[in-house]
Amino acid sequence: MNHKYHVMVIGAHCGDAEIQAGAIALKYAKAGHEVTFLHLTAGEKGNPSHVTVEAYRKQKVKESKEAAKILGGKSITLDFRDAELKLDEETVTAVSKIFRELRPNVVITHWEKSIHPDHALCPKIVQSAWLKAALTGFEIEGLAPHSITRMFHSENWEDMEDYVPDIFVDVSEEFETYLRALSQYDFIMNSSDFRYFDYYQALGTVRGCIARTTYAQTLKFPVGMNTRKGMSIPGFEL
């Protein structure tokens, strides 16, 4: 391996990043690259009736670390509150600081159209943080500026309006491990509102059919960027 990449998957809540691009992240981790799952909130307000919000936050952070370990990466959860995300200086600076500290090359996050306000805000926060982290005129705790090379959106069942994939990544060899990582989350396995596990298992199958592989996960370029459709991340082929 001539160059080590750092792939960062950013979700609004613990669980989002893993379900959207966990198998892609694992593919890079297996090839010796660095992987980080960054959760802007824990997603703690969807707590079961028998668990307090704070207890559920601790549970989800623990689950996120277990899932990340299986996927070959590390997990970071910020202190922002579920269903209260804001595109403000505090949030953007917090993410910018992480970009400068950890220096990711590729960032994968939510699609910009979503039925969940936190999801819709997440890519806007990421893009603003990308700019702030890259500009030399912003001083952030003495950290050197850093610019991401590429940003992509990934699939989430709540973010599907106008989501048309550009890239289909073959994750056939990673998919069973990906499903094992998802099973660390109680909400994925036991939600009474949505069959998360079944959906993402089926989605991987459907995307694999289109890509002529067994399983696949997809990515989409941000609106307005030059696109190059294919089976791998441009410039970061394995």
In a domain, 229, yes or no: no
In a domain, 227, yes or no: no
Is 137:129 a contact under the CB 8 Å cutoff? no
Q: Residue-wise pLDDT tens for the chain (238 aa)?
A: 468 999 999 999 999 999 999 999 999 999 999 999 999 999 999 999 889 999 999 999 999 999 999 999 999 999 999 999 999 999 999 999 999 999 999 999 999 999 999 999 999 999 999 999 999 999 999 999 999 999 999 999 999 999 999 999 999 999 999 999 999 999 999 999 999 999 999 999 999 999 999 999 999 999 988 887 889 988 899 8
In a domain, 82, yes or no: yes
- The CATH number covering residue 94 comes to 3.40.50.10320
Domain count of the fold of the chain: 1
In a domain, 234, yes or no: no
Partner residues linked to 75 by β-bridges:
37
3-class DSSP assignment, residue 167:
strand
> Which pTM value belongs to this model?
0.97
- In angstroms, the CA 73 to CA 182 distance is 14
Both ends of the chain: CA-CA distance in Å? 9
In a domain, 103, yes or no: yes
In a domain, 1, yes or no: no
- In angstroms, the CA 96 to CA 115 distance is 26
**Four-CA torsion 231, 148, 90, 98, nearest 10 degrees:** 100
Domain that holds residue 154: 6-220
In a domain, 228, yes or no: no
**Residue 66, C-beta contacts closer than 8 angstroms, at least 6 positions apart:** 184
Partner residues linked to 109 by β-bridges:
153
Distance from chain centroid for Cα 56? 20
In a domain, 26, yes or no: yes
Is 3:101 a contact under the CB 8 Å cutoff? no
